[in-house]
């Protein structure tokens, strides 16, 4: 059976993952990952040529079964992954003294360890036939700066960035690996932050270009996967409306 090349987007059922999947669907088939099939079906309906995209249902908290689940999906649907975008993420906020080990494990599994497991599979010749050419991890500016209550989230994104840099060296020149580091973008995961007037006012002060939109991040991902970025690997592309430079100043 002929293998069809696709782009795998994790976390495609909502937020940045959905926006990114919709944008990349213009370029070819997308394997849409998520836990909720009805929401994934909604994403597929919003994509260009919905009929050519496929679904992968799996909870990334369960890293031990990612291998079997992804292998079954790729083989069963005759797919090879040419591009991988890791958008899936969870945000666990709270002081360290109140965090339990289950919450810590969930954050690290979804934000970091699942990305390790997926890339580990996609570079296997017997699994993916050397089809992989580009990887983008959606990280966060939280990997660069500390914040109260964000300890485990910051740690998970810092781990993802460090892994990206190592992979960029290890997989070159066949595969380019980069990360996009968004600032404040309004998504379902961050909606609660925008309900706090004090947070909104602080964002107005901190972001010279204002708060970003999901499309801003999807555009950055698309660029890094394109031939226009053919000489870019191992980089953290900060997309934050000038917040980090404003803080630095």
Question: Where in the sequence numbering do the catalytic residues fall?
Answer: 153
**Residue for token digits 């380019």?**
176
Total Cβ atoms within 10 A of residue 40: 24
Distances in Å between the Cα of 94 and the Cα atoms of 13, 151, 183 are 25, 8, 19
Query: DSSP of 175-195, one letter per residue?
Result: -EEEEEEE-SB--TTTHHHHT
How many angstroms separate the most distant Cα atoms in the chain?
A: 57
What's the residue count for the chain? 249
**Residue for token digits 């079964």?**
65
CA atoms of 74 and 40, how far apart (whole Å): 17
Query: DSSP of 146-163, one letter per residue?
Result: --TT-HHHHHHHHHHHHH
CA atoms of 113 and 117, how far apart (whole Å): 6
């Amino acid at each position: 059976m002929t293998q069809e090349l696709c782009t795998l987007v994790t976390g495609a059922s909502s937020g940045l993952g959905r926006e990114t999947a919709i944008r990349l669907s213009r370029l070819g088939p997308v394997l849409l990952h998520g836990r909720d099939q009805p929401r994934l079906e909604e994403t597929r309906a919003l994509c260009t040529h919905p009929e050519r995209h496929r679904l992968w249902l799996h909870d990334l908290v369960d890293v031990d079964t990612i291998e079997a689940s992804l292998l079954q999906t790729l083989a069963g649907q005759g797919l090879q992954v040419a591009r991988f975008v890791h958008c899936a993420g969870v945000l666990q906020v709270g002081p360290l003294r109140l965090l339990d080990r289950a919450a810590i494990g969930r954050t690290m599994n979804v934000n970091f360890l699942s990305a390790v497991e997926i890339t580990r599979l996609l570079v296997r010749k017997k699994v993916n036939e050397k089809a992989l050419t580009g990887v983008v991890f959606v990280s966060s500016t939280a990997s660069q700066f500390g914040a109260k209550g964000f300890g485990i989230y910051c740690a998970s994104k810092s781990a993802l960035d460090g892994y990206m840099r190592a992979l960029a060296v290890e997989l070159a020149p066949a595969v380019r690996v980069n990360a996009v580091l968004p600032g404040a973008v309004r998504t379902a995961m961050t909606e609660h932050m925008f309900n706090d007037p004090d947070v909104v006012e602080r964002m107005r002060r901190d972001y010279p270009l204002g708060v970003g939109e999901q499309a801003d991040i999807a555009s950055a991902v698309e660029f890094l996967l394109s031939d226009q970025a053919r000489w870019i690997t191992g980089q953290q592309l900060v997309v934050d409306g000038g917040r980090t430079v404003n803080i630095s100043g």
